[in-house]
Amino acid sequence: MTKSAKLTIGEKVIDLPIHSPTLGPDVLDIRKLYAEADVFTYDPGFTSTAACESTITYIDGDKGELLYRGYPIEQLAERSHYLEVCYLLLYGELPNAAQAADFEYRITRHTMLHEQIHYFFRGFRRDSHPMATMVGVVGAMSAFYHDSLDINDPWQREVAAIRMIAKLPTIAAMAYKYSIGQPFNYPQNHLDYAGNFLHMCFAVPAESYTVNPVLAKAMDRIMMLHADHEQNASTSTVRLAGSSGANPFACIAAGIACLWGPAHGGANQACLEMLREIGTVDRIPEYIRRAKDKDDPFRLMGFGHRVYKNFDPRAKVMKESADDVLGLLGIENNPTLQVAKELERIALEDEYFVSKKLYPNVDFYSGIILDAMGFPTSMFTPIFAISRTVGWISQWKEMIGDPTQKIGRPRQLYKGEKTRDYVDLRHR
Ligand code: CMC
């Protein structure tokens, strides 16, 4: 039986259909509300609004559960690898051996950038933040790859998807090399996805560089854990940009711009900078006090999440990786890490954080790992962007294929002036 809800507005009674999802709470369908009742709904921050139907990722914030196409993130982190997860997100099922080999071949053959893009890089200041460079270069891809811009052609959509997944690591590594004044490294197709990225970032022509398998595995995990996260701010940005028919490169550039903010992907950089600013364990109480102070805008970066109100399942896996990497590098006792461990302990016991369900999120640990690997904080968010590209693309492809898709156009609660007449300058 189809469920519905009744909404009474004055004399009018409106019947609103209720949809039952595979998992999660029921969804009230208000699409006809304005036409039938002449009212809008008001939901800043979309805390109660489902903006689309999706089959890709599911989060249960109360249970601390994250599923990609139904598979728990813990199982994928333990048994899968990033490119397999990319296939899963893009096509809906885990690949068989032939499909996996074909997909990896296609990704690997698209890792190089059009040579002209090297000159484009040179237009940026050396001290540009790599995210600024990435927004520009990814947006500019639509000026270089004209044969994959037609969003109505499924083959071109596919080629654009493969291109972006393959080329984002190359772009991020070039942004990094450019910022430190070193020559660009071309991709090495004999390396796996994560290993190739490490090579492009850390190899220099004057020396040979061997990818450490423990670090490559940790990088692969970071990528898997960040690959998709349902309708978060940057994904919603990609969908909104795409809803107008914008080309896929422009949409992903919009997603990268949104990800940069410190409340979203920029949190991993902000978190490590905060740990360094705290500096020593004895200064932690001061920062805890500031985080609780309503008149102080300071927040403990790396804590809290809009959806997870139990724990962030990605943080648990990331914490294990942090132990592996720091153990391997023999830096378990560096001061930043000591501050991180003590901050985590205090916050998990503190009434303010416990009552507001503010747990360490994925960014709390990913920054510590990336720092240990030798990345500057400015590269943390670009690495998130590489990882999330497959999620953005999968969601974008899903949206384009949805027959009910419309241009995104929220309404507003207008609180401005009523109609008034223009006043000439001399009378103001
Ligand atoms: N430190 C101190 N207090 C906090 C924090 C924090 N990190 N996060 C939330 N609060 C408080 C907040 O002040 C509010 O208190 P009150 O109810 O008394 O006004 C309450 O907790 C609820 O906060 P909110 O801002 O309404 O929650 P939200 O769901 O809108 O925000 C968040 C979620 C992630 C933006 C926020 O927790 C935050 O700013 N965290 C720090 C930034 C961060 O680590 N972001 C990475 C998120 S994970 C990666 C990703 O998905 O991008």
For 322-327, the CB contacts below 8 A with 24+ separation are: 322/365, 322/368, 322/369, 322/372, 324/214, 324/217, 324/218, 325/214, 325/215, 325/218, 325/369, 325/372, 325/373, 326/368, 326/369, 326/372
Using the structure block, give the residue that is written with the tokens 């249960």. 60
What residue type is assigned to position 175 of the chain?
A: A
Q: What is the average per-residue pLDDT within 220-230?
A: 96
Using the structure block, give the residue that is written with the tokens 């000591």. 338
Whole-angstrom distance, CA of residue 208 vs CA of residue 210: 7
Tell me the chain's radius of gyration from C-alpha atoms: 23
Mutate to test the pocket of ligand 1, among 59, 300, 303, 354 (most ligand atoms within 8 A of CB): 303
Q: Given the CA of residue 302, which atom of ligand 1 is nearest to it?
A: 44
pLDDT tens-place string over residues 52-105? 999 999 999 999 999 999 999 999 999 999 999 999 999 999 999 999 999 999
Could you tell me the distance, in angstroms and rounded to a whole number, from the CA of residue 362 to the centre of ligand 1? 13
Rounded to 5 degrees, what angle do the CA atoms 271, 204, 122 make?
Answer: 75
Could you tell me the distance, in angstroms and rounded to a whole number, from the CA of residue 174 to the centre of ligand 1? 33
Alpha helix ranges (H) inside 265-361: 267-278, 284-292, 313-329, 335-349, 351-355
Backbone angles phi, psi at 55, to 5 degrees: -120, 15
Residue 420 burial (C-beta neighbours within 10 Å; 0-12, 13-18, 19+):
exposed
Using the structure block, give the residue that is written with the tokens 């990528």. 223
Whole-angstrom distance, CA of residue 306 vs CA of residue 334: 31
Specify the DSSP element, H or E, that contains 131.
helix 130-140
pLDDT tens-place string over residues 267-283? 888 899 999 999 999 99
Residue 208 burial (C-beta neighbours within 10 Å; 0-12, 13-18, 19+):
exposed
What per-residue confidence (pLDDT) applies to 261?
Answer: 94
Q: Does residue 357 register a pLDDT over 70?
A: yes
Could you tell me the distance, in angstroms and rounded to a whole number, from the CA of residue 358 to the centre of ligand 1? 7
For 112-120, the CB contacts below 8 A with 24+ separation are: 112/167, 112/170, 112/186, 112/187, 113/144, 113/167, 113/170, 113/171, 113/174, 114/144, 114/145, 116/144, 117/141, 117/144, 118/174, 118/184
Could you tell me the distance, in angstroms and rounded to a whole number, from the CA of residue 270 to the centre of ligand 1? 13
Backbone angles phi, psi at 215, to 5 degrees: -70, -40
Residue nearest (by alpha carbon) to ligand 1 atom 30: 306
Whole-angstrom distance, CA of residue 211 vs CA of residue 214: 9
What residue type is assigned to position 237 of the chain?
A: T
Mutate to test the pocket of ligand 1, among 230, 288, 346, 358 (most ligand atoms within 8 A of CB): 358
Count the Cβ atoms, other than its own, within 10 Å of residue 112. Answer: 13
Predicted confidence band at 35 (pLDDT cuts at 50, 70, 90)?
very high
Concatenate the DSSP letters of all residues of 364-422 into one string: HHHHHHHHHHT--GGGHHHHHHHHHHHHHHHHHHHHHT-TT-----------S--S---
**What residue ranges line ligand 1, CB within 6 angstroms?**
229, 232, 263-265, 267, 291, 299-306, 356, 358, 361-363
Mutate to test the pocket of ligand 1, among 306, 307, 311, 366 (most ligand atoms within 8 A of CB): 306
What per-residue confidence (pLDDT) applies to 322?
Answer: 86
Whole-angstrom distance, CA of residue 134 vs CA of residue 257: 9
Strands (E), 25-176: 27-28, 57-60, 65-68, 71-72
Could you tell me the distance, in angstroms and rounded to a whole number, from the CA of residue 263 to the centre of ligand 1? 8
Question: Chain-wide mean pLDDT for the chain?
Answer: 94
Task: Given the residues 363, 371, 421, 427, select the one marked as catalytic.
Answer: 363
Backbone angles phi, psi at 295, to 5 degrees: -90, -5
Residue nearest (by alpha carbon) to ligand 1 atom 9: 304
Q: Look up 363 and say whether it is catalytic.
A: yes
Q: Does residue 319 register a pLDDT over 90?
A: no
Q: What is the average per-residue pLDDT within 151-175?
A: 96
Residue nearest (by alpha carbon) to ligand 1 atom 20: 356
Predicted confidence band at 1 (pLDDT cuts at 50, 70, 90)?
low
What per-residue confidence (pLDDT) applies to 316?
Answer: 87
Could you tell me the distance, in angstroms and rounded to a whole number, from the CA of residue 267 to the centre of ligand 1? 11
